[in-house]
């Protein structure tokens, strides 16, 4: 590997000068969080406002699985995200909205306006019959009403279940049934990348598909399209808004009362209804937002490009930033509409201080070269972040050089829907970075490596990533299926939380997530992370994207099967195949030489942009009959063309 990719990048001087947490502070706080968790959390819980301050901190067990934090505390998450900022920030923007269409006016809601809107929305929900504990499905595009609806649910103690507004009727129906959700909030239509998406229509179809009876549907008017309304069941938000008061008390909630259900991306199987509760989740998202984004009491703008349909949107568009009194940017569109410089144009226009996006988006943008970035003024930025997948060093360095001007810290944040918030990440003022490493654990997090038999592996090594102890933001269960929760995360290694991910732990104590454990190859007895091979392939200038899986191989046990998407205008031919094999050999070694290179114009991805390796594995294995749940795929037709390609090999 080149020197740049293996180098360590120190904390930038301007970050060191303003940071809320330097190296010494991090180390002292981290040590204390493990040695005296009770004392540590007693000091930290004041980061949120409690109606009744908890006396009990963590009270948890992994065998049997029973997780509680702050169980005798009482609070309201919406109050913390909205009301408590009114004295100091009533006129500060809480939500800034940028439309899909760059010529459409943006919208700003101040904290005072957000408060009034959330109260009205909460009163409208009550008028529909929504009560504390009821599950409310939210199927909304990236418009301010999505955050307003979530906060309104939290205000009255209803449990929101946000479903990404691009899922099919069938997928929505499955989630309505699983959550036994009586109420739905949707919009007439959504807009993304210049296209309209028929949301109300999809909800009508989903209600037909679902066996659970939906009692009420609240519809937000967004595009103004004429949509059919079912009498007695459907009502318009703008009609109800006229009839309700802008004042609604925030319901006192026990810390362990559910806040939301969120279905995982489905990269590895049937989506799981992850349940988060109020106190622990809010403490965790508030604290991680503050430390990872190095957030002082500054009222600046934070931009997380995720959709509210994913946990990243929940924790780092809505709850984390608003609980800290930040201004949060919601973007309705996509990175490449109307042109590939849209992200950078939005940064120039709204001037966020922090920018948080996914490696998949960065790789797509990197492919377009530096010019679209360089033509915009990005001088408002002081920090860059990534989440969602391992970031390959090439993409990290591009982000660092072109967007960060070799000046901004990058936080590569590792976490999961199930973890509620960030668990492993640099704290920008405290931890020097290495491209491709999520670096060090957050306070209270105790990562460890185990081998296949569950024995701890010490020292610099690779293995299965587990967490030894609980943290406040941890999921409490899978909705309605505690046994599946226990089996999925706590049965592989007794007494430990198994992340499903593999990791390397290096000589400096840095963590390098290598991808899902299912994605580790065993080639002639050597263990190889698919992410490593992918990173070598993507490092080739003619490759846009790559996904690597294992397949049965007579001699090696497992062979290396590579799906490769060349950059626009490049042909995937025998010459390129030979070049790529040579490149991987050179970077990793002969053991990693690909056995098969399958060129394809596209890869199967979830709606959140993650490659579905489980499907690629089946196709590589020539097993086309049992591809499993494909309802969460962004474009199912990709699968047929991959199968055809495989059959021709
Ligand atoms: P499912 O659990 O349904 O298969 P999913 O795991 O893709 O879906 P998420 O909870 O959104 O759903 O994603 C968490 C996973 O994403 C992690 O387990 C890890 O594999 C990957 N991931 C997230 N952030 C990072 C990161 N910074 N570096 C490496 N991997 C990451
Ligand atoms: Mg997962």
**Cβ–ligand 1 contact at 313 (below 6 Å):** no
Centroid of ligand 1 to alpha carbon of 416 (angstroms): 5
* 347/374 Cα distance (integer angstroms): 12
**Cβ–ligand 1 contact at 488 (below 6 Å):** no
Q: Which of 202-211, 223-232, 512-521 has the lowest mean pLDDT?
A: 512-521
What is the best residue among 271, 416, 425, 634 to mutate for testing ligand 1's pocket, by most ligand atoms within 8 Å of CB?
416
Q: How sure is the predictor about 183, in pLDDT bands with cuts at 50, 70 and 90?
A: very high
* 238/121 Cα distance (integer angstroms): 10
- How many beta carbons lie within 10 A of that of residue 231, not counting itself? 6
What residue owns the CA closest to ligand 1's atom 27? 414
Q: Which atom of ligand 1 is nearest to the CA of 266?
A: 3
Q: Which of 70-84, 91-105, 334-348, 355-369 has the lowest mean pLDDT?
A: 355-369
Give the mean pLDDT of the chain: 94
| Ligand in nearest proximity to the CA of 518 | 1
Residues 103-147 pLDDT 10s: 999 999 999 999 999 999 999 999 999 999 999 999 999 999 999
**Cβ–ligand 1 contact at 498 (below 6 Å):** no
Q: 389 labelled as ligand-binding?
A: yes
Question: Rounded to a whole number, what is the distance in angstroms from the first to the last CA of the chain?
Answer: 32
**Cβ–ligand 1 contact at 545 (below 6 Å):** no
Task: Decide if pLDDT at 554 tops 60.
Answer: yes
Q: Which of 225-239, 461-475, 545-559 has the lowest mean pLDDT?
A: 545-559
Centroid of ligand 2 to alpha carbon of 258 (angstroms): 20
Q: What is the pLDDT of residue 589?
A: 81
Q: Is 196 exposed, middle or buried (0-12, 13-18, 19+ CB in 10 A)?
A: middle
Q: What is the pLDDT of residue 1?
A: 47
Task: Decide if pLDDT at 2 tops 60.
Answer: no
Which among 212, 211, 157, 222 has a CA at the least distance from the CA of 185?
A: 222
Give the pLDDT mean for 554-583.
92
Which among 148, 142, 141, 49 has a CA at the least distance from the CA of 94?
A: 148
Centroid of ligand 2 to alpha carbon of 100 (angstroms): 29
**Cβ–ligand 1 contact at 501 (below 6 Å):** yes
Task: Decide if pLDDT at 593 tops 60.
Answer: yes
CB 584 within 8 A of CB 593: yes
Give the pLDDT mean for 493-498.
96
| Ligand in nearest proximity to the CA of 311 | 1
Four-CA torsion 615, 466, 476, 516, nearest 10 degrees: -10
Give the pLDDT mean for 35-59.
98
CB 645 within 8 A of CB 616: no
Task: Decide if pLDDT at 531 tops 90.
Answer: no
What is the best residue among 384, 415, 419, 474 to mutate for testing ligand 1's pocket, by most ligand atoms within 8 Å of CB?
415
For residue 177, list its beta bridge partners. Answer: none
What residue owns the CA closest to ligand 1's atom 13? 416
The phi and psi torsions of 236 (rounded to 5 degrees) equal -90, 140
**Cβ–ligand 1 contact at 363 (below 6 Å):** no
- Kindly report the three-state secondary structure assignment for every residue of 298-335: CCCEEEECCCCCCHHHHHHHHHHHHHCCCEEEEECCCC
Above pLDDT 90, what percent of the chain? 84
**Cβ–ligand 1 contact at 385 (below 6 Å):** no
What residue owns the CA closest to ligand 1's atom 23? 388
How far is residue 57 CA from its own chain's centroid?
27
| DSSP single-letter state for residue 633 | B
Alpha helices in 539-636 (DSSP H): 574-587, 613-620
Q: 499 labelled as ligand-binding?
A: no
**Cβ–ligand 1 contact at 420 (below 6 Å):** no
Q: What is the pLDDT of residue 521?
A: 81
| Ligand in nearest proximity to the CA of 270 | 1
- Tokens standing for 200? 């109300």
Q: What is the pLDDT of residue 265?
A: 66
Task: Decide if pLDDT at 631 tops 80.
Answer: no
Which residue bears the tokens 């030979």? 578
Centroid of ligand 2 to alpha carbon of 97 (angstroms): 29
| DSSP single-letter state for residue 402 | I
Give the pLDDT mean for 11-24.
97
Q: What is the DSSP string of 45-92?
A: GGGS--SB--S--EEEEETTEEEEESTT-EE-HHHHHTGGGHHHHTTS
Q: Which of 25-34, 166-175, 438-447, 488-497 has the lowest mean pLDDT?
A: 166-175
Q: 412 labelled as ligand-binding?
A: yes
CB 534 within 8 A of CB 392: yes
CB 162 within 8 A of CB 150: yes
**Cβ–ligand 1 contact at 387 (below 6 Å):** yes
Q: Which of 46-50, 100-104, 533-537 has the lowest mean pLDDT?
A: 533-537
118 versus 571: the higher-pLDDT residue is 118
Task: Decide if pLDDT at 309 tops 80.
Answer: yes
Centroid of ligand 2 to alpha carbon of 502 (angstroms): 12
Centroid of ligand 2 to alpha carbon of 304 (angstroms): 20
Q: How sure is the predictor about 3, in pLDDT bands with cuts at 50, 70 and 90?
A: low
* 352/301 Cα distance (integer angstroms): 5
ipTM summary value? 0.99
What Å distances lie between residue 539 and 282, 438, 579, 583, CA to CA? 39, 20, 12, 9
* 533/200 Cα distance (integer angstroms): 43
3 versus 199: the higher-pLDDT residue is 199
* 45/69 Cα distance (integer angstroms): 11
Q: Which of 149-153, 402-406, 456-460 has the lowest mean pLDDT?
A: 456-460
- Tokens standing for 432? 């020097």
Q: What is the pLDDT of residue 610?
A: 83
What is the best residue among 264, 307, 362, 608 to mutate for testing ligand 1's pocket, by most ligand atoms within 8 Å of CB?
264
* 450/120 Cα distance (integer angstroms): 51
* 8/54 Cα distance (integer angstroms): 41
Q: Which of 172-176, 271-275, 370-374, 632-636 has the lowest mean pLDDT?
A: 632-636
Give the pLDDT mean for 34-53.
98
422 versus 544: the higher-pLDDT residue is 422
CB 636 within 8 A of CB 630: yes
Q: What is the pLDDT of residue 84?
A: 98
Q: What is the pLDDT of residue 269?
A: 64
Q: How sure is the predictor about 268, in pLDDT bands with cuts at 50, 70 and 90?
A: low
Q: For the chain, what percentages of helix, strand and coil (3-state, to nearest 5) are there?
A: 35, 25, 40
Four-CA torsion 33, 36, 37, 41, nearest 10 degrees: -80
Q: What is the pLDDT of residue 416?
A: 96
Q: What is the pLDDT of residue 528?
A: 78
Q: Which atom of ligand 1 is nearest to the CA of 268?
A: 4
Q: What is the DSSP string of 10-43?
A: PPPHHHHHH-S--HHHHHHHHHHHHH-HHHHHHH
* 437/507 Cα distance (integer angstroms): 13
Centroid of ligand 2 to alpha carbon of 40 (angstroms): 29
Centroid of ligand 1 to alpha carbon of 402 (angstroms): 26
Above pLDDT 70, what percent of the chain? 98
């Amino acid at each position: 590997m080149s020197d740049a990719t293996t180098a360590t990048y120190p904390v930038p001087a301007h970050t060191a000068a303003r940071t809320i947490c330097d190296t010494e502070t991090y180390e002292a706080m981290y040590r204390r969080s493990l040695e005296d968790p009770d004392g540590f959390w007693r000091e930290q819980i004041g980061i949120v406002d409690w109606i009744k301050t908890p006396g009990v901190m963590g009270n948890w067990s992994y065998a049997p699985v029973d997780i509680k934090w702050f169980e005798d505390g009482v609070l309201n998450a919406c109050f913390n995200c909205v009301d408590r900022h009114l004295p100091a920030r009533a006129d500060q923007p809480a939500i800034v909205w940028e439309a899909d269409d760059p010529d459409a006016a943006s919208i700003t809601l101040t904290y005072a306006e957000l408060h009034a809107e959330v109260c009205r929305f909460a009163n409208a929900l009550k008028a529909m019959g929504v009560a504390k504990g009821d599950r409310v499905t939210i199927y909304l595009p990236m418009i301010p009403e999505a955050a307003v609806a979530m906060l309104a649910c939290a205000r009255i103690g209803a449990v929101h279940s946000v479903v990404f507004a691009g899922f099919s009727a069938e997928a929505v129906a499955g989630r309505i049934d699983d959550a036994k959700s009586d109420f739905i909030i949707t919009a007439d239509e959504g807009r993304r990348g210049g296209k309209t998406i028929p949301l109300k229509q999809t909800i009508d179809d989903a209600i037909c598909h679902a066996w659970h009876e939906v009692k009420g549907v609240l519809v937000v008017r967004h595009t103004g399209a004429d949509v059919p309304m079912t009498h007695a069941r459907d009502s318009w938000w703008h009609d109800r808004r006229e009839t309700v008061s802008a004042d609604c008390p925030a319901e006192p909630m026990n810390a362990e009362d559910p806040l939301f259900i969120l279905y995982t991306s489905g990269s590895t199987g049937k989506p799981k209804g992850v349940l988060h509760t109020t106190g622990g989740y809010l403490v965790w998202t508030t604290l991680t937002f503050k430390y990872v984004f190095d957030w002082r009491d500054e009222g600046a703008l934070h931009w997380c490009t995720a959709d509210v349909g994913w946990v990243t949107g929940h924790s780092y568009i809505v709850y984390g930033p608003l609980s800290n009194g930040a201004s949060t940017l919601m973007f309705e569109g996509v990175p490449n509409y109307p042109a590939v410089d849209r992200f950078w144009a939005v940064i120039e226009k709204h001037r966020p201080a922090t920018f948080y996006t996914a490696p998949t988006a960065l790789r797509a943008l990197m492919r377009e070269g530096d010019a679209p970035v360089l033509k915009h003024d990005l001088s408002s930025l002081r920090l860059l972040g990534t989440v969602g997948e391992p970031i390959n060093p090439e993409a990290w360095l591009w982000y660092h050089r072109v967007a960060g001007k070799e000046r901004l810290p990058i936080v590569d944040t590792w976490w999961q829907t199930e973890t509620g918030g960030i668990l492993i990440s640099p704290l920008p003022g405290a931890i020097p970075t290495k491209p491709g490493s999520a670096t060090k654990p957050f306070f209270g997090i105790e990562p460890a490596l185990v081998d296949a038999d569950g024995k701890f592996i010490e020292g610099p090594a690779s293995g299965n990533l587990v967490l030894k102890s609980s943290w406040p933001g941890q999921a409490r269960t899978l909705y309605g299926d505690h046994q599946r929760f226990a089996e999925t995360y706590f049965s592989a290694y007794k007494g430990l939380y198994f992340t499903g991910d593999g990791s390397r732990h290096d000589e400096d104590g840095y963590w390098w997530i290598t991808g899902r454990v299912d994605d580790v190859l065993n080639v002639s007895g050597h263990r190889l992370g698919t992410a490593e091979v992918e990173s070598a392939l993507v490092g080739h200038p003619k490759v846009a994207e790559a996904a690597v899986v294992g397949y049965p191989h007579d001699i090696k046990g497992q062979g290396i099967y590579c799906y490769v998407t060349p950059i626009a205008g490049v042909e995937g031919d025998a010459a390129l195949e030979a070049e790529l094999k040579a490149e991987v050999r050179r970077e990793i070694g002969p053991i990693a030489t690909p056995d098969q290179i399958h060129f394809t114009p596209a890869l199967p991805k979830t709606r959140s942009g993650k490659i579905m390796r489980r499907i690629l594995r089946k196709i590589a294995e020539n097993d086309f009959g049992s591809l499993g749940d494909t309802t969460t795929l962004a474009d199912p037709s990709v699968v047929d063309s991959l199968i055809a390609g495989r059959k021709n090999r």
